[in-house]
Amino acid sequence: MAGGADADHEYAFGVLGPLRVTRAGIPLSLGGRQQRAVLARLLLADDAGLTVDQLADALWAAAVPAGAAGTIQTYVFHLRRTLEPNRDRGRPGQVVITDQGRYRLAIGSDALDSAAFERRVDSGERLLADGALAEAVSELDQARALWRGDVLADLADYDFVAPVATRLADRRKAAVEAKIDAELALGRHTSVLGQLNELVAKDPLNERLHGQRIVALYRCGRPSEALAAYDQLRHQLADELRVDPSPPLQKFHRQVVAHDPALVWNPPSPPREEVAAEPKPESQAPPAPAPPLRRRRPRLRPR
């Protein structure tokens, strides 16, 4: 979405929760449900924008009524009045733009919370990979703070919402897991253990979370509970998916059984650029935090 007017600074558009728009911090009334859905669909579109027919399909799917085009145009007219109350009549829109038979928003990606979220997650993951652990935690915390609820929770029954909601929810989960990796590498295994217990209870087949929890339990001086956690997951995977734990998780199990020193937390090395300037002895290098676990397994479909 290309920037337009001074919208980047005036407006904040939120889809990480019920649809919300503020101007200079003041919430705007966006009209009825279908009108809100038009705005939501435009927010999720790319820079090419959408035709009237595409917006009609988003609102009514296979049951587009007669006169749908006029209804869409009316919704756009009212959205323009809301978003640009001082626009002179007949003057082209600066936020909702008509361009070659398409409508698009010119708000700038900085104004949309989902875009800001993904940028912060990208930044946090880069910082984690570079060993800037505290900075990674801060960036990922700020990404998580942008969420107010499920994506477009007030419009979730529209078909166009589901794919975006699923993708963003997956990124949200990955951001949480990356933050826990950073916390474990910083030696905060005690403080993250409660969170890991809750996350594993909600997502009992997530092997990455289980690996992180096993590491945290071991580092908290609870190796027997770490072994019990592994056995519980092994039984669940066998019963529900007919598979064994992934090789990285099996490695954690062997390390716990052997009380492998590599599983013990050591203070982290400085970020890579500092390592280049002031190399540390190899003995001070920390073991890797619980690495991402990747497995191809059958997708479970809700019944």
Q: Is residue 118 part of a domain?
A: no
Highest mean pLDDT among 22-26, 28-32, 45-49, 299-303: 28-32
Answer with the one of 109, 130, 156 that is the final residue of a domain. 109
pLDDT in tens, 12-34: 999 999 999 999 889 999 999 99
Residue with tokens 């007030």: 154
pLDDT at residue number 298: 46
Is the CB of residue 30 less than 8 Å from the CB of residue 79? yes
Answer with the one of 109, 128, 143 that is the final residue of a domain. 109
- Stretch 111-128: mean pLDDT: 96
- Angle, CA of 289, 223 and 239, to the nearest 5°: 85
Q: Is residue 137 part of a domain?
A: no
Q: Is residue 44 part of a domain?
A: yes
pLDDT at residue number 109: 73
pLDDT in tens, 120-139: 999 999 999 999 999 999 99
Confidence of residue 108 (pLDDT cuts 50, 70, 90): confident
Residue 73 structural domain: 7-109
State the CATH number of the domain containing residue 279.
Answer: 1.25.40.10
How many structural domains comprise the chain?
A: 2
Answer with the one of 69, 86, 109 that is the final residue of a domain. 109
